[in-house]
Amino acid sequence: MNGNTSTHRLPSFLEYQGKYKGLAGWLLSTDHKRIALLYLYSQLFFFLAGVVMGILMKLELIAPGQQIMSPSTYNALFTVHGLTMIFLFIIPGLAASFGNFFLPILIGAKDVAFPKLNLLSWYLFIAGAVIILFAMFTGDGPPDTGWTFYAPYSLRTNTNVVLSVLGAFVLGFSSILTGLNFIVTIHRMRAPGMDFFKMPLFIWSMYGTAWIQLLATPVVGITLVMVIFDRVMGIGFFDPAKGGDPILYQHLFWIYSHPAVYIMILPAMGAITEIITTFSNRVVFGYKAIAMSSLAIAFVGYLVWGHHMFTSGMSETARWVFSLLTFLVAIPSAIKVFNWSATLYKGSIDLQPPFWWAMAFVFVFMIGGLTGLVLGSVATDVHVHDTMFVVAHFHYIVFGGAGLAFFAALHYWYPKMWGKMYNKKVANIGLLILFIGFNTLYFPMFILGIMGMPRRYYDYLPEFATPNLISTIGSWILALGLIIVIVNLLRPKKVPQEEVDNPWNGRTLEWKMQSPPSLENFEEIPVVEHGPYDLIKD
């Protein structure tokens, strides 16, 4: 693992001119790093669109009664907010962007196994997004079913369900191909000497994620196609009037959509592991336990979908089995959190912005995880199901977990990806404001849920007014923090090259190369002799 950074520099992948120049050089590039940035920019765009929709919903909920939109607009808004945030931002998530960029680099490869397939995945992603966009502005208006498309309402509503579902199907295809590509890459492209237990833990989490993408997505894919055929051909798979069973739809939907939560969160946990290890300046505690916990989460995550349906109509036995299995997921999740804490213990901690983001992640992820137990236990779930409590829990896990980890990874790998450095002080201030806003926005929802306020209504009873007002104010604080963070990232400082090659004293392979990496990543494929986090003096 000899660094070539100080000797001479190659043109970075950003500067490199291939056969195609300019925009075509990006849109036709099969370089995993360029594809990663294509994903990253498109995902951030969809994220911001989703944020705007979220803020509008919070504005509607600022006080009881109708404020700025009609009930049906509100229904459409929470559906499209969900579709955008889930299918276009957080399911591709860290895997499609940071995974694409760093998976080959971290295992010492020059690209993924199937570069053209990788580009195709991005095009499918964009195609799915365009189809969903069409669904919003054509026909009888955006879908109002919620992002879950529950039958039989999704078969009855006049809104544009078919196109939205088709979009989700195409996005699923993109996700499958990415997962397939990553599994083959990890199996076949590791550098000499890098056996499975010398891979950085981000790669382990990507490996678990890729298997979920591969094995869970087809189920929802075909289910969505069945919804399309129910609507277009009138088959009646899920239509009770024709003998179909809506509960069966829910089962098939959650067989994918629960594991999908782990598609979102596993790469996030992987990135957080990298960040905590780097900034603790220690060898990660419990390497094998963390690696195996990723696979355990992926595996057990398959078997818990029924906890979304405790009140939908299932046998008592099914309910307690699903509840038990749900509690089992807490074990590998807790293994990760404990190992992170143990890594910090007696570490030489470097308090840099990515580290603060990781800490913010751990904090909100804990709240999200512990409130998940309330929902995983049948008795308490019956009380809070379909209330704001669920919304709060979900956003603590997915926005607070996966979303914050996305930004943590962005701040961590920023100097490597663009060869520039943001203003660290402003980054910290932005995070602080965002963090305060996040908790002000979502924490009152737990209370509202316990009080009994149902989700997915544009209006509510007067006694829910105060927490809702606080929550709406929180959404503004969060937006302010987000603006600071993003503007700061858009206005980087030019700093001397040695300050971006390895600003954090990272020990994994990406920090041993120039920033931004050259087109081929490695002039010579490195030979790996040490564990990924071993402290070696160069």
Partner 1 sequence: MEHNATIHATHDHYDPIASKLGMWLFIFTEILLFGALFIVYSVYRYRHPVEFHLANQELNVTIGFINTVILLISSATVAMSITAMQKGDKKMTIIFLVITLLLAFVFLVNKYFEWGAKIHHGIYPGSEFLLSLSHGDILFFGLYFFMTGLHAVHIIVGMALLIWVLVRVKQDRINKDKYAFLENGGLYWHLVDLIWIFLFPLFYLIH
Query: Using the rule CB under 8 A, is 188 a contact of partner 1?
Result: yes
Could you tell me which of 62, 110, 96 has the C-alpha nearest to residue 406? 96
Query: Using the rule CB under 8 A, is 111 a contact of partner 1?
Result: yes
Supply 50's token pair.
Answer: 């989703």
Residue 163: what residue type? Answer: L
- Contact segment (CB under 8 A) with partner 1 among 214-222, 269-277, 323-331, 364-372 equals 214-222
Interface pick for partner 1 out of 217, 257, 471, 515 (rule CB under 8 A): 217
Query: Using the rule CB under 8 A, is 226 a contact of partner 1?
Result: yes
134 three-state secondary structure: helix
CB of 404 to partner 1, least distance (A): 31
Contact 182, 95 (CB under 8 A): yes
Query: Using the rule CB under 8 A, is 151 a contact of partner 1?
Result: no
Query: Using the rule CB under 8 A, is 373 a contact of partner 1?
Result: no
- Cα separation values, 170 from 211, 225, 463, Å: 18, 10, 43
Supply 428's token pair.
Answer: 């910290």
144 DSSP 8-state letter: -
CB of 39 to partner 1, least distance (A): 19
User: With respect to partner 1, which residue has the nearer C-beta, 241 or 379?
Assistant: 241
Q: Can you state the angle between helices 115-137 and 32-60, rounded to 10 degrees? A: 20
User: With respect to partner 1, which residue has the nearer C-beta, 30 or 73?
Assistant: 30
Interface pick for partner 1 out of 193, 234, 345, 425 (rule CB under 8 A): 234
Interface pick for partner 1 out of 52, 130, 222, 536 (rule CB under 8 A): 222
Phi, psi (degrees; rounded to nearest 5) at 518: -75, 170
CB of 255 to partner 1, least distance (A): 8
CB of 337 to partner 1, least distance (A): 31
Supply 469's token pair.
Answer: 């007002």
User: With respect to partner 1, which residue has the nearer C-beta, 46 or 256?
Assistant: 256
Query: Using the rule CB under 8 A, is 30 a contact of partner 1?
Result: yes
- Contact segment (CB under 8 A) with partner 1 among 18-26, 56-64, 330-338, 469-477 equals 18-26
Query: Using the rule CB under 8 A, is 28 a contact of partner 1?
Result: yes
Which 3-state string (H, E, C) describes 13-30? Answer: CCCCCCCCCHHHHHHCCC
- Contact segment (CB under 8 A) with partner 1 among 46-54, 81-89, 179-187, 289-297 equals 179-187
Supply 41's token pair.
Answer: 């920019």
What torsion do the CA atoms of 96, 97, 99, 105 make, to the nearest 10 degrees?
130
Query: Using the rule CB under 8 A, is 183 a contact of partner 1?
Result: yes
CB of 183 to partner 1, least distance (A): 6
User: With respect to partner 1, which residue has the nearer C-beta, 117 or 473?
Assistant: 117
Burial class (CB in 10 A: 0-12, 13-18, 19+), 6: exposed
- Cα separation values, 350 from 259, 278, 393, Å: 34, 9, 31
Tell me the Ramachandran region of residue 45: left when phi exceeds 0, alpha when psi lies from -120 to 50, beta otherwise: alpha
- Contact segment (CB under 8 A) with partner 1 among 54-62, 141-149, 213-221, 324-332 equals 213-221
- Cα separation values, 332 from 21, 168, 260, 328, 338, Å: 47, 30, 17, 8, 10
Query: Using the rule CB under 8 A, is 11 a contact of partner 1?
Result: no
Interface pick for partner 1 out of 91, 176, 364, 404 (rule CB under 8 A): 176
CB of 110 to partner 1, least distance (A): 5
Dist. CA 263–CA 402, nearest whole Å: 10
Could you tell me which of 190, 367, 345, 340 has the C-alpha nearest to residue 276? 340
CB of 124 to partner 1, least distance (A): 14
Dist. CA 267–CA 414, nearest whole Å: 17
Query: Using the rule CB under 8 A, is 352 a contact of partner 1?
Result: no
Interface pattern 499-528 for partner 1 (x via CB under 8 A): --------------------xx--------
- Cα separation values, 386 from 309, 393, 425, 492, 537, Å: 11, 11, 40, 43, 55
Interface pick for partner 1 out of 82, 92, 221, 403 (rule CB under 8 A): 221
Query: Using the rule CB under 8 A, is 313 a contact of partner 1?
Result: no
Q: Binding to partner 1 (CB under 8 A): which residues in 235-264?
A: 235-237, 242-245, 248, 252, 255
User: With respect to partner 1, which residue has the nearer C-beta, 214 or 480?
Assistant: 214
Q: DSSP labels for 376-436?
A: HSHHHHHHHTTBHHHHHHHHHHIIIIIIHHHHHHHHHHHHHHHS-B--HHHHHHHHHHHHH
* Site size for partner 1 (CB under 8 A): 46
Query: Using the rule CB under 8 A, is 31 a contact of partner 1?
Result: yes
Interface pattern 112-131 for partner 1 (x via CB under 8 A): -xxxxx--------------
- Cα separation values, 194 from 205, 211, 215, 267, 333, Å: 16, 21, 26, 20, 26
Interface pick for partner 1 out of 64, 152, 218, 454 (rule CB under 8 A): 218
Side-chain-side CA neighbours of 271 within 13 Å: the count stands at 35
CB of 282 to partner 1, least distance (A): 34
Contact 57, 459 (CB under 8 A): no
Interface pick for partner 1 out of 38, 53, 168, 180 (rule CB under 8 A): 180
259 Cβ partners below 8 Å, 6+ apart?
212, 215, 216, 298, 301, 302, 305
Query: Using the rule CB under 8 A, is 20 a contact of partner 1?
Result: yes
Binding site for partner 1 (CB under 8 A): 18-20, 28, 30-31, 110-111, 113-117, 176, 180-181, 183-184, 187-189, 214-219, 221-223, 226, 229, 233-237, 242-245, 248, 252, 255, 519-520
